[in-house]
Structure 1
Amino acid sequence: MKAIFLDKDGTLVDDLPYNVEPRRIRLVSGAGAALRLLARLDYRFFVVTNQSGIAHGCFGEEAMGPVADRLADLLFRENLALAGFYYCPHHPLGTVGDYAVMCACRKPSPGMLLKAANDHAINLRESWMIGDILHDVEAGNRAGCRTLLIDNGNETEWRLGPRRVPTRMAPDLYAAATLIAAHEELR
Structure 2
Amino acid sequence: MRKTVFFDRDGVLNVERNYLYKIEEFQWQTDAVAAIKLLQAQDYRIIVVTNQSGVARGYYNEADVSKLHNYMQAQLALQQTRIDAFYYCPHLPDASRAEYAQECDCRKPGPGMILKAMQEHEVLKEQSFLIGDKESDLQAAQAAGIRGYLYQQGSLLEFVKNVLAKEADLGNGI
TM-score, length of structure 2 as denominator length: 0.91
Decide whether the 8 Å contact of 1:124 with 1:143 is kept in 2.
Answer: no
The DSSP-based 3-state class of the residue aligned with 2:94 is coil
**CA-CA distance at 1:22 after TM superposition:** 1.8
2:159 aligned residue: 176
- Segments of 5+ residues of structure 2 without an aligned counterpart are none
In structure 2, distance between residues paired with 1:12 and 1:127:
18
2:49 aligned residue: 48
1:32 aligned residue: 33
In structure 2, distance between residues paired with 1:68 and 1:57:
19
Kindly report which structure 2 residues correspond to 1:120-159, keeping only aligned pairs within 5 A, or say none.
120-152=121-153
**Number of residue pairs matched?**
169
Percent identity, please.
36
Kindly report which structure 2 residues correspond to 1:13-162, keeping only aligned pairs within 5 A, or say none.
13-152=14-153
Q: Deviations over 1:39-70 (max 9, x none)?
A: 12111111110000111111111212211101
- Larger deviation, residues 38-47 vs 84-93: 38-47
Decide whether the 8 Å contact of 1:41 with 1:181 is kept in 2.
Answer: no
CA RMSD of aligned residues (A): 1.4
Equivalent residue letter for 1:183: K
The DSSP-based 3-state class of the residue aligned with 1:185 is helix
In structure 2, distance between residues paired with 1:28 and 1:50:
18
Higher relative contact order (CA 8 A, sep 6+): 2
In structure 1, distance between residues paired with 2:50 and 2:32:
17
Runs of 4 or more, structure 1, over 6 Å off, are none
- Larger deviation, residues 73-82 vs 111-120: 73-82
In structure 2, distance between residues paired with 1:140 and 1:74:
27
In structure 1, distance between residues paired with 2:79 and 2:146:
26
- Segments of 5+ residues of structure 1 without an aligned counterpart are 153-170
Decide whether the 8 Å contact of 1:11 with 1:173 is kept in 2.
Answer: yes
Q: Deviations over 1:55-107 (max 9, x none)?
A: 11111112122111012122222321110000000011111111011001000
TM-score, length of structure 1 as denominator length: 0.85
In structure 1, distance between residues paired with 2:82 and 2:130:
17
